Amino acid sequence: MSLIKYKYCWKELTEEGLLKEPKPIGSHYNEVSVNGLYLHGFDSEHEAEVWYSELLNANEYKYQIQRDLVLIKRVFYG
């Protein structure tokens, strides 16, 4: 029997209704993803919200971060 696992990821919702990977923020030598350091997503909604909030409050990123993102729940079987 396989276990179902979930990851939470931020996605950009386009005008066409597509979900796309958000562009990295930061300078080209120090890029950061809104989906965390390892780009695999987060284990909980809370972790995703905290990371996004920290990026919004960081002076370095606050004018670059997208504000129209959708948090999705991805299913993994393991």
Backbone angles phi, psi at 51, to 5 degrees: -60, -45
Domain boundaries of the chain, sorted by first residue:
4-77
Q: How confident is the model at residue 41 (pLDDT cuts 50, 70, 90)?
A: confident
Integer angstrom CA distances of residue 78 from 1, 36, 50: 9, 21, 26
List the single range of 9-13, 30-34, 38-42 with lowest mean pLDDT: 38-42
pTM: 0.82
